[in-house]
Amino acid sequence: MALLRRDLLGYTPLYAEKLDPSLSSIGDSKESFYFGSLKGVLAQRYPNQWPSEGILPSWRQTMECYYKNVLSVGRKLLGLIALALDLEEDFFEKVGALNDPTAVVRLLRYPGEVISSDVETYGASAHSDYGMVTLLLTDGVPGLQVCRDKSKQPHTWEDVPAIKGEFIVNIGDMMERWTNGLFRSTLHRVMPVGKERYSVVFFLDPNPDCNVKCLESCCSETCPPRFPPILAGDYIKERFRLTYATS
């Protein structure tokens, strides 16, 4: 609690978030630790909180090393997505998305208890991620579920198998807006399974000042833009406001 979240960075206690604001249940059954940019304007504006070296020796260095490496993987993945959209490989760099991006690592612990009550509880209630892509590592404990068709009611949920040594990749809302729904953000949730669960999440989101608007190659007269242009920072800020306002 000494490192309780400040500007979303640091520790977030159990039930402090509710990722699906429409639910009447208590907050999500998880606790987490966020850390973000290591250099640049965002790092100065939103400094990370770190436990002391005396309490956790080498922990900060380990986390920073992981951050740098997974950021490199995320950049390469965005280059592949750009090529898949018939764009230049460095498209997302040219539009400013990767100019000091909002890239955040989140360490998550789910207690996993299945609580008997009239209201269903979630490790993470149903949501899509806010940014471009998410890279997820898990400890192999089940619980993560995805809905392939989020527009269809009722939602059909499928368990996501954990494959050792591989990332689970989610498409985020910003990518859906850029591609006019060609790449759809992944609706997902985490259900308690009676066992403690850990995961490491890397959110690669655009620079807050990046204007996210439909790509010309993804719209036409018969398929107009579904989403208005928006600054990435404004969209993400509003999503976080709803997440914490209803917890």
> Which one is the CATH code of 12-48+56-245: 3.10.20.740, 1.10.760.10, 3.30.470.20, 2.60.120.330?
2.60.120.330
The full 3-state SS of 113-175, as one line of letters, equals CCCCCCCCCCCEEEECCCCCEEEEEECCCCCEEEECCCCCCCCCCEECCCCCCCCEEEECHHH
3-state secondary structure of 232: helix
Cα gap 108→198, rounded to integer Å:
6
Domain boundaries, the chain: 12-48+56-245
Give backbone dihedrals phi and psi of 55, rounded to 5 degrees, phi first: -80, -45
Cα–Cα separations (whole angstroms), residue 201 to 71, 102, 119, 181, 198: 12, 14, 27, 23, 10
Q: What would the two tokens of residue 140 be? A: 């192999």
* Identity of the amino acid at 191: M
Strand partners, 203: 104, 134
3-state secondary structure of 220: coil
Total-model pTM: 0.93
CA dihedral 135, 143, 183, 166 (to 10 degrees): 40
Handedness of CA 166, 170, 171, 174 (dihedral sign): negative
pLDDT values of the chain reduced to their tens digit, one per residue, 247 residues: 999 998 889 999 999 988 998 887 788 999 999 999 999 999 999 999 999 999 999 999 999 999 999 999 999 999 999 999 999 999 999 999 999 999 999 999 999 887 766 667 899 999 999 999 999 999 999 999 999 999 888 999 999 998 888 999 999 999 999 999 999 999 999 999 999 999 999 999 999 999 999 999 899 999 999 999 999 999 998 888 887 754 4
